[in-house]
């Protein structure tokens, strides 16, 4: 394992994972060309609701990738199929729950964020259409996680690129061609989500047809195996809950500064998502390699993965921050042409130059821990980072306003990196013990 091999895995995964926030980013960019900033605010609030729901269950992709990578490293074909079937079953149940509870979820979310009346109206319109894409998105998380864990990187990249190209084309057609406004961008995203799911199912059918016998339901819902999977997922669920608490508090505080500030923060936060998901590609690469190292009991592969992950945390931060510094004005203008929103975004965008250096280690090391299915440190470090964020939020915002809000977020990003790095020696011991067993 060297830099070239690591990048050969990380770069396609970066392209793949960065497509996730592009759905919300495209929606924001398209409605950002409309004259009323309430359109951007409506999509921002709607996107926050769906990011909340999807990120709470983002473990369906992350844990599936980890278990599939370990099964692949151990050359256990039956376990690789079970690594797909079990989270698929869970995703079906969760999706049904979301659809049945869609009205209470919408009402509770809007009451919590409490946007202006016109923003709330557009957010509700957006939500009412996109909610029907929840089953497709959650099941696609499982499909993509499994494909990544099994090393089928090009396939997973292709699915997500095609989804986003379709979303962009349809969003432009529905909004600019048919003048459907908020409904247009929501419908475009829903259709793109359904397309990606359908393509994923077709690929799985081709991938698994005749290769191995599908396990019976009794084996899929085996109590011991599900308990292990749900233990991992529980830690990742708590981690995501902490993360979403940070994001939602950020949005709520931003909304209290008025619709234009909400819109400006929404633009900057969409750019932040693109940065964070760029790191997710490196994180997924580290997760796959760490999972294979654990499955094959290969301590040397793990050590090299840790070294490469740390080096690319630094290198990628310089690249991401540098690109944004050079092209920030052009990037912001992609999302909106409203002068007042652009001016506000440019007032606070320096925080996005700092963000990569504070968040990179936490985001990339996360992959090492998920690949080893060692998730308690992820949970604990995120809880500590959340506590630091709350302290910063309630002490800095009253003094510095929106600058204080962004500074609190930077403190949180630094905290999640610092606290997770403290657990790396524990992870080293797990791989050392694993290698001793096999030798």
| CA separation, residue 161 to residues 12, 33, 35, 49, 144 (Å) | 11, 23, 29, 23, 12
Contacts of 404 (CB under 8 A, 6+ apart): 393, 396, 397, 398
Q: Would the pTM of this model clear 0.75, i.e. be above it?
A: no
Interval 74-83 mean pLDDT? 78
- Model pLDDT for residues 243-289, shown as the tens digit of each residue: 888 988 898 888 888 888 888 998 898 888 888 878 888 888 888 88
Do residues 45 and 119 touch, judged by C-beta distance below 8 A? yes
What percentage of residues in the chain have a pLDDT greater than 70?
Answer: 90
Tell whether the model's pLDDT for residue 71 goes beyond 50. yes
Do residues 141 and 60 touch, judged by C-beta distance below 8 A? yes
What pLDDT does residue 43 have? 81
Tell whether the model's pLDDT for residue 8 goes beyond 60. yes
Contacts of 69 (CB under 8 A, 6+ apart): 148, 149, 150, 151, 287, 288, 290, 291, 292, 295, 371
Buried b (16+ CB within 10 A) or exposed e, 130-147: bbbbbbbbbbbbbbbbbb
Number of domains in the chain: 1
Tokens linked to 38: 């309430």
- For residue 212, how many other CB atoms are within 10 A of its CB? 11
Rg (CA), the chain: 21
Between residues 370 and 361, the one the model is more confident about: 361
Domain that holds residue 147: 3-438
Query: Which one of 8-22, 194-208, 218-232 scores highest in mean pLDDT?
Result: 194-208
Q: What share of the chain is helix, strand, coil (3-state, %, to 5)?
A: 90, 0, 10
Tokens linked to 51: 């990011």
What pLDDT does residue 20 have? 62
What pLDDT does residue 439 have? 47
Q: How far apart are CA 158 and CA 163, in angstroms?
A: 8
- For residue 216, how many other CB atoms are within 10 A of its CB? 9
Read off the pLDDT band of 307 (50, 70, 90). Answer: very high
pLDDT, averaged across the chain: 85
Q: How far apart are CA 314 and CA 237, in angstroms?
A: 28
Q: How far apart are CA 289 and CA 72, in angstroms?
A: 11
What pLDDT does residue 421 have? 94
Read off the pLDDT band of 140 (50, 70, 90). Answer: very high
Please choose, from the candidates 331, 322, 232, the residue with its C-alpha nearest in 3D space to the C-alpha of residue 273: 331
- Model pLDDT for residues 87-132, shown as the tens digit of each residue: 888 899 889 999 999 999 999 888 887 788 888 888 899 999 999 9
Read off the pLDDT band of 211 (50, 70, 90). Answer: low
């Amino acid at each position: 394992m060297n830099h070239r091999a690591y990048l050969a895995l990380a770069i396609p995964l970066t392209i793949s994972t960065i497509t996730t926030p592009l759905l919300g980013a495209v929606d924001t960019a398209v409605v950002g060309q409309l004259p009323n900033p309430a359109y951007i605010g409506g999509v921002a609030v709607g996107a926050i609701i769906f990011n909340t729901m999807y990120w709470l269950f983002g473990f369906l992709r992350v844990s599936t990738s980890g278990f599939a990578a370990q099964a692949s490293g151990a050359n256990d074909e039956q376990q690789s199929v079970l690594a797909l079937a079990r989270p698929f079953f869970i995703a079906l149940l969760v999706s049904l729950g979301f659809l049945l509870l869609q009205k209470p979820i919408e009402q509770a979310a809007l009451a919590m964020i409490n946007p202006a009346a016109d923003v709330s109206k557009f957010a509700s319109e957006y939500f009412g259409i996109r909610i029907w894409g929840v089953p497709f998105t959650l099941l696609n998380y499982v499909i993509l996680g499994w494909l990544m864990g099994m090393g089928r990187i090009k396939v997973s990249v292709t699915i997500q690129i095609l989804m986003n190209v379709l979303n962009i084309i349809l969003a432009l057609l529905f909004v600019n061609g048919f003048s459907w406004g908020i409904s247009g961008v929501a419908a475009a995203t829903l259709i793109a989500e359904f397309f990606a799911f359908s393509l994923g199912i077709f690929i799985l059918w081709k991938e698994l047809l005749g290769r191995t016998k599908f396990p019976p339901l009794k084996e899929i819902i085996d109590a011991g195996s599900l308990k292990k999977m749900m233990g991992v997922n529980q830690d990742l669920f708590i981690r995501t809950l902490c993360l979403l608490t940070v994001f939602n508090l950020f949005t709520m505080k931003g909304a209290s500064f008025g619709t234009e500030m909400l819109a400006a923060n929404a633009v900057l936060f969409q750019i932040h998502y693109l940065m964070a998901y760029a790191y997710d590609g490196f994180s997924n690469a580290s997760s796959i390699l760490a999972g294979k190292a654990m499955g094959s009991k290969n301590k040397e592969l793990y050590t090299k993965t840790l070294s490469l992950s740390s080096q690319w945390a630094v290198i990628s931060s310089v690249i991401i921050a540098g690109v944004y510094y050079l092209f920030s004005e052009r990037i912001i203008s992609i999302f909106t042409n409203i002068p007042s929103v652009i001016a506000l975004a440019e007032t606070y965008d320096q925080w996005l130059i700092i963000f990569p250096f504070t968040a990179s280690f936490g985001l990339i090391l996360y992959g090492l821990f998920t690949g080893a299915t060692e998730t308690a440190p992820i949970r604990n470090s995120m809880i500590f980072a959340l506590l630091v964020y709350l302290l910063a939020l309630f002490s800095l915002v009253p003094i510095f306003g929106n600058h204080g809000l962004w500074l609190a977020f930077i403190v949180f990003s630094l905290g999640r990196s610092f606290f997770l790095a403290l657990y790396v020696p524990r992870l080293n011991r797990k791989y050392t013990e694993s290698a001793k067993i096999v030798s």
